[in-house]
Every structure is written in structure tokens, then in C-alpha cells.
Structure 1
Amino acid sequence: MRHPPAFRSCLACDLARPRRYGQASAESPDGAAMKPDDLRLKIAYAAPGFALAAAGVPLYIYLPQFYSDVVGIPVGTVGLILLAARLFDAFTDPVLGIVSDRIRAPFWRRKGLILLGMPVVACGILMLLNPIAGATTAWLLVGLLVTFAGWTLATIPYESLAPDLADRYDDRTSLVGWRDGAIVLGLLIAAALPPAIARFSHQPTVAPSTMTWTALIICAFLAGSLLIFLPNVPAPTPRMTERRIRVGRRLKLLLRIRAFRVLTASFLINAIGSNLPAALMLYYVQYVLESDLAPILVLAYLLSGVLALPWWTALARRTEKHRAFQWAMIVHSGAFAATLFCGPGDILIFAALTMLSGTASAAVIALPSAMQSDVIDQHRLAAGQDDAGLLISLWAIGRKLTAAVGIGVALPLLQVAGYQPGVAQEPRVIAVLKLLYIGIPVVTGLTAAALMSRYPLDRAAHSHIRSQFDTASNTFSTTLPLNESTNSIPEGTPHA
């Protein structure tokens, strides 16, 4: 059988010799994979994403200023502690990913780990946002380690569920769109909590009482999401191969896949810059624009993303996921670049540009996540076993390390430039803020969009990957023998 060029390009180096394939399948109550219109499953699967995202907002938006301006820890020290905690957290991801892949009990393989992880996240959030009197750097570090440990325990298996719940290219875009739409909604609501609580209690946004109530509400979100998720999302049934490949061999196979290399490079480069605005938004609006409307601007940014996500999902269905991602990055970075010309008194112009940039924010999160599931399929076919947890953990390492490096460098740079809490800043501090808040994110965003031009795993290529699974059976849960005739590649086809 002659495959189309896109399929040959991305699979030539992976299907050159026979392998056995073992797939973890997720079965709905009627024994079938997710149906495109299974709304209950989409909502239930999205619920933990909403709660975990809500738990992350205080850490990235309010925590730095809370601990630097209220608790009294120098801003540079806060940045270094965040960096140290994230570095520790990143190295736990592959361990959890491998363990999750090897668990054979259907419930504990993914759902059970999520059930264990989310209460740990709740304990960490309570520590961080309700610190004891006289809290020191040690309290901040321990709270971050507890929170990130629970986060890893919950998010790695949670994200690994997506490839098992939806098989088809566009169904995955829909499922992950619901999940990441819920994530952005969680960000939106959690970002609104401190300003709303502060207004009701007549306290500052980062006052201790405001942070405590925020922590309690987020804990309620975490508990409620589990009540929705656990009874309505099926547990994947693992169908393992008799012999497992060593981790080193699996990574070597993974690096031969061009789609993985391109997606990962684009994903990491964009992550370097995308984490900076979240950490610096409050500082930028207060000291560059001389406004106290930062919480409202955060809400406008996130709300724009939620409302525009269905349009980006539709564009991905009409074209390709990676093409829609490129356009989203161009819109996001272009609007962000224009904010460089805003200064004191330009808050309305800045708000309009922030909302324009925000229209692409959810797409920048959701579309790469959907592409990750397709790359996981390609690796499954090449390696002959299910390594979704391992791959998700590798992407999580990159995301966390780039976020840690970005924040761990940005906040100390502010301190070196001469940042002083609560007073007008020197011109050099304003210049550093503009570089970190606008300059670096724009450059990394456009670079990520350009790299995606080389992404080969489009709809046609993924359809042919799926056809390899379906050769022996109409289900996705079969141990499928892959032989030379099934995986034949025309002579002269270049390697990916």
C-alpha cells in the first residue's frame, strides 16, 4: 500500500521493522471509545483541569507580590525559591510517568493517582496562602514543594488520560479543547477571587485574609471536581506487551520522531516567555501604567480566551492543528508587542490590546495539548507499548523548567535593577519590566510559530497511524502484530 507523502515523512524511520503493539484503552460504559457527542464525559474529564488551574493562579499571579510586599521576603529571594521548588518538582515527573504507565490496575493507573494527588495540592495551597505568623523562606519552600508534589501526582496521569479517551484526530481536538477551556475558565475565576474578596471585605487584594479565603474556595473546587470526575470518566484498561523496552531505548525511538522534536522545541521556546507576563502582570500595571486595574485586566485577558477558544477549535478542524496554533501565536504576540507603546494614562488602549492577545491565549494552550496526543500515538506504534505517562512527564519537565528559569531569573533581575516595593520605580526598573513582560514573550512566541512550519503530523498522517491499529480490529484495545507488509514504506522515502 502506498502511503501519502505526509505519512511517509513522519513514519519512515519508525515503522521499518516488526513490533508488537500493546495499547491501553479507555472504555465507556457501553464498551466503546468516546463518541464525538459524549458531552457528559467531556465535562467530567474537564473538571479536574478547572480546579488544578484555579489552584495555580495564586502561585503565579499573587504569590510573588504577597510574599515580597506583605510577608516581607525580598522579591529576588522569592524568585529563587520558586526556581528551586520547580527544579525539584520537574525531576519527579518522569518517575511518576513511568510508574503510572506500569500500573496494571485500571483504576489506580490514572484515576487513583489523581485521587491521591489533589488533596496534597489542597494542603500545599493552604500552607502557602495562609502562612503562620513570622513565616520564613523555609515555610515558602516547604509549601511549594508540597503543592508541586501533589500537582505532579495529579496532572501527569490526568493529562495521560486524553489519548485513551479519544482516538480520532478531531475528537481529540474537541476533548482537549473542553479540558483546556475549563483550565482557562479556572484561571479566570481564580484570578477574580482575590479582587472580589478584597472588595467585599474592604481589604487589599494581597491581604492575608484575602489570600486565606482564596485558598479555602480553591480547596472546595478541588474536592468538587473529584466528585464530578471519578464516577463519570472511565478507567483505562491496560493491555501490556509481554516484553517492555528499556527507558533509554524508548527515548531513542522518541527522538527519531520528527513531530516530537518539532512540537517539543516549539512548546518549550514558547513556555520560556509565556510564564513571564503572569508573574509580572501586577508589577507592570502598577509601575509602568500607574494603574490599580491589574486584576480586571487579568480577568479580561482570560475571558477573551475562553470566548474565542471555540473559534480556534473550528479553525483547527477546517485546517490543521499546527496551522491554527501558528495563527494563534501570531495574534497573541502581535497584540502583545503593541503594548510596548503604552504608558501612564493608556490603560484603555492597553486593555484592548490585552483582550486581543487574550483571544488566542486558550488556543496556545489547547492546540499543542491536542497535538501531544497524536505524537503519543505515533510513539506507541513505533515502540510497541503505551508510554503516555512518560511522554506527558517529559513535556511537563520542560514546561516546569522553563517556567522556573523564567521566573527565577526575572524576579532577581528586578531586584538587581533596584526594585523597591510600593514606591515609584527608577527608569532602569521600568526598562527591565518592559523587556521581561513584553520583549522576551514576543520573541519566543514568534519563534515557536515559525518552528511549527516543520511539523509533519497532520490529519492525513494521523489517519494512517490509526489505520495501523485498526488493521486487525475495529477497537483500539488489541495487541496488534505489526509486520513488514503492514508497515511497508516505499523505497527511497527519506527518514523523518
Structure 2
Amino acid sequence: MESRIAPDTTGASGQSDQPRLGNWTKTAFALPAAPIAAMGLPIVVYLPPFYANEMGLGLALVGYIFMITRFWDVFTDPVLGVLSDKYKTRWGRRRHWIVLSVPIMLVSVWMVFMPEAPVSGGYLLIWMVILYIGWTLLTLSHMSWGAELTPDYNERSSVQAFREMALIGGMILVLLMPVFIEAMEPENLGAARVASMGWFVLILLPITVAIAVWVVPERRVPDPVHVRWQEAVRVLVANAPLRRVLVADLISGVSGGIVTGLFLFLAADVLDLKNASLLILVYLTSGCLFVPIIVRLSYKWGKHRTLAYSSLFSAVTVPLIFLVSPGDLLFAVFIWICLGVNMGAGPFLFRSIMADVADHDEVQGHNQRTGLFYSLLTLTNKVGAALAVGITYPALELVGFVPGVENASAAEMGLRMIYVLPPMAIGFIVAWVMWNFPIDEETQSENRRILSQRAAAAEGAGGNAGASIAPLGGSD
């Protein structure tokens, strides 16, 4: 692993004077996102039904376990985020944490994706907790690293877009695994399908992490300044842009968790679509293809307005699911192409916006806390997804829906309503929350100018001069 640290050469205007990141650098950085997504998609889509049905744990118990393990991140995310910000090595601030996460991930993926029946609820709970520790350490370190690769408002969107395309590419590749497994006609299709996805992660994760940490240097960032915890909490609480992003991401996580967590039940048991994996591939491919378009639109409209428009588009298209007749694959494909637009746009725009929010916080609080901020972002998304599974799975039992059997029309309509109405409402709410977001390109440039002046003053003084410059008056 190389120990190169790229200097921060942000100019006085607030724009970066350093060369633009090349596509190969962005690609190498983004590669670990593929196995991250390859594990994340099965956790939401395939593992809950697998443990509920094949492993015999039942819908309600599995829903509660996945909700509990997600809420475990309420503790681990901020703790690991602070550690990621605080401890640096000669390799920088992020890369050593990414490397450390790999063995934790490999062991826990083996245990979760390749269980030996029968399993208990305690087995699933313990190994999911360990899996989430490794996953959190990997994802928040990787996202924080991406935020620090460039200070430029628009280039941050480009970096996160590369990461998003790698994420979606990983999902697409891992979804192809069941196609090959089904062709082999194994004795236990469900177990073989989940195991194939586990093997994909086990093989790809160490390879992609090795390429990323070897090829991509870290950009120099200021050493953390000691701030009393009371003052740090005050700055966080007063940070209105942070509150907006976290609220929008939390409810977006609920929406995404519903759409993905109930998809197999909707496709197979209500819409009578024989090849549900094909529809997921259409959904993901749509998201991947629209990412470059969304990036260009964000250059024109700004990140927050582009995010708002994308959420509105999703809100008005998801009710079309009520119109899909059983077996109507063509219309279903059209709808999931439309839904893929917001699936591709939302995540990378939230991450790009959070990098700007972290700079805004550094201007206000005189400390660089990117890791903490991204830990809060991963936390809200995970809590949202946990709420989706923990609420909707028991709700399915309340409406009388049973997977894998012939259900009454009322139960099928109940599933459609659970699938459609909350995401539709959430789309409108996210658009409202983000429409007048206060950090645009001009504000971000001014923040970078202030931070550049502080860095120059600190370098001239031979130390950290961040505390010698008064913060701006307000955080809105």
C-alpha cells in the first residue's frame, strides 16, 4: 500500500487549483463499492425471505431481527465515524480502516450467506451484528475518503457518481449469479442462490480494496482540533443543512427499504411475474444509465434541486403499480425503468451534498469531521431501511398476506398499498425538504475560500491556525 498524501491546493477563490481527478483514479476509488452493493442488495431483498422461509424463522421474527441489527448501527456508526476522523497513519486517515474492515466482512459474510440449517434467531442476530460492524467501517470510510478526494462542488458529484455506478454495477453482477444457479437446478435453490452471492463478495472484496488503496492517494486534510464535546454537539445541533440532509435521507431509506424489501413478494405473488430477477436487473440498469444524465443536470440545476425533481418524478410514477395486471411484464418493465431514475440519483446526490455540509461544519466549528458526518448519513439510511422491514413485514401479516401461496384479492391489494403509498408520500416530502437547501455552488465556493485561508495561515504559522479565525455568524 502506498503512503502518498496529495496536498490540498485549493485557491483563494474557493476553487481547487489541483488537477482534476482522472477517470482511472475515480474508477479505482469506486471499485470497492461493487462488493459493498453485492452484499447490501441480498441483505435487503434475498436474505429476509431466505431466513423467513427456507431457514424457517418466520416473517415477523426475521423482520424484528433485521430491524434490531440495523438499529445497532445507531451506536456503531457515530463511534466508528469519530474513530475514522481521529486516528491517522502514514497511509492517511481512511485507507487503513478500509483494509481493517475486510477480514471482518469475509468471516461474517461466510456465516450469514452460507448457514447450515437449522439456524436460530440468535445465530442470525449475532452474525448480522458483526456483519454490520464491518460493513459500517468499510462504507463510511469509503464515502468519507470520496468526499475528501476533491473540494470542488461539481467534481464531488462526479466522484460519487462513479461510486454509484460501481454500486449499481455490483448489484447487477450479483443478480446474474442466481440466473446461473437456477440453470444448474440445485437441490436447494434458495440456499444455493444466497451462497452464490456470498461467494461473489468473498472473491471481489479483497481484490477491489487492494486496487483502491494502492492506486488512489488521500488528499491532505487538517489534523483534528480538540473541541469540547459540549461545543461539538452544539455545532451539530445548530447545523440546519445537516438536519435537512439527515431527515431527507432517513425517510428516503424507509422508501427504498419498502421498494426493495417487498419487491419479491409483489412480483412473484401479486403481479405473477415468473422472472423477478429480470425486473430487478431492468430497475438497476435504468439507475446506472441515468446517473451520468443526473450528474449533468446537477451541474445545471444544483444538487439539491436535482434531488428534489428526482423525488417528485418517483412520487408520481410509483402509483402506476396499481395499474399493473398480473403477468403484464411489459408495463412492469416500463414502471421499474422510471423508478430506477430516482434509485440512481438520490444516493450519490445525498453523499455529494453531505461533503459540502461537512465543509460548512468545518467553517462553523473549526474541525474536520467528514467521517462523523458520513456515519450519520449511513446511520439514517440504515435506520430507514430497518424501519421499512420492521414495519412492513408485520403489516403483511396484518393484511393477511402469506408469501408463496394463493392470497385473497384483499390481501394482494393490501400489499400493493403498503408498497406504493408510503414511497409516494415520501417522494413529495423529500422534494419539499430539499427544495430550498441553503448550500449551493456559490456557498460552497465561499466555504472553500475560508478554509483555504485558514490552511494558508496555519502553514505560515507552522501549526494549526483554525482556532484563530472566528466562525461565521449562523449555520443556516
* TM > 0.5: yes
Equivalent positions of 1:131-280 (< 5 A) are 131-199=115-183, 201-203=184-186, 206-240=189-223, 243-280=225-262
Does residue 326 of the first structure (1) align with residue 305 of the second (2)? no
Give the counterpart of 2:86 among 85, 102, 121.
Answer: 102
Cα distance in structure 2, aligned partners of 1:274 and 1:196: 27
Report the secondary structure of 2:262's partner residue. Answer: helix
Q: Between Structure 1 and Structure 2, how many residues are aligned?
A: 465
Instruction: Give the superposition deviation at 1:468.
Output: 0.9
Counterpart position of 2:57: 73
Instruction: Give the superposition deviation at 1:289.
Output: 0.6
Report the secondary structure of 1:359's partner residue. Answer: helix
Equivalent positions of 1:386-401 (< 5 A) are 386-401=368-383
Equivalent positions of 1:395-414 (< 5 A) are 395-414=377-396
Instruction: Give the superposition deviation at 1:193.
Output: 1.9
| Distance of aligned partners of 1:480 and 1:247 in 2 relative to their CA distance in 1, 3 Å threshold | same
Cα distance in structure 2, aligned partners of 1:280 and 1:334: 19
Cα distance in structure 1, aligned partners of 2:355 and 2:43: 28
User: Is 2:288–2:344's contact at 8 Å kept on the other side of the alignment?
Assistant: yes
Instruction: Give the superposition deviation at 1:229.
Output: 0.8
Percent of counterpart pairs with the same letter? Answer: 24
Does residue 312 of the first structure (1) align with residue 294 of the second (2)? yes
User: Is 1:198–1:204's contact at 8 Å kept on the other side of the alignment?
Assistant: no
User: Is 1:70–1:206's contact at 8 Å kept on the other side of the alignment?
Assistant: no
| Distance of aligned partners of 1:306 and 1:393 in 2 relative to their CA distance in 1, 3 Å threshold | same
Counterpart position of 2:108: 124
Does residue 27 of the first structure (1) align with residue 6 of the second (2)? yes
Instruction: Give the superposition deviation at 1:304.
Output: 0.5
Report the secondary structure of 1:244's partner residue. Answer: coil
Task: Return the structure number with greater relative CO, CA threshold 8 A, min gap 6.
Answer: 1
- Stretch of structure 1 that moved more, 49-58 or 418-427: 418-427
Letter in structure 2 aligned against 1:399: N
Query: TM-score scaled by structure 2?
Result: 0.91
Query: TM-score scaled by structure 1?
Result: 0.87
| Distance of aligned partners of 1:138 and 1:355 in 2 relative to their CA distance in 1, 3 Å threshold | same
Instruction: Give the superposition deviation at 1:219.
Output: 1.0
Cα distance in structure 2, aligned partners of 1:45 and 1:294: 32
Letter in structure 1 aligned against 2:55: V
Give the counterpart of 1:379 among 351, 358, 361.
Answer: 361
Cα distance in structure 2, aligned partners of 1:284 and 1:438: 11
User: Is 1:124–1:143's contact at 8 Å kept on the other side of the alignment?
Assistant: yes
Does residue 356 of the first structure (1) align with residue 328 of the second (2)? no
**Structure 1 unaligned regions, length at least 5:** 1-24
- Stretch of structure 1 that moved more, 370-379 or 44-53: 44-53
Letter in structure 2 aligned against 1:207: G
| Distance of aligned partners of 1:437 and 1:34 in 2 relative to their CA distance in 1, 3 Å threshold | farther
Counterpart position of 2:398: 416
Cα distance in structure 1, aligned partners of 2:453 and 2:130: 46
User: Is 2:259–2:419's contact at 8 Å kept on the other side of the alignment?
Assistant: yes
User: What CA RMSD, in Å, does the superposition of the two structures yield over aligned residues?
Assistant: 2.6
Letter in structure 1 aligned against 2:193: T
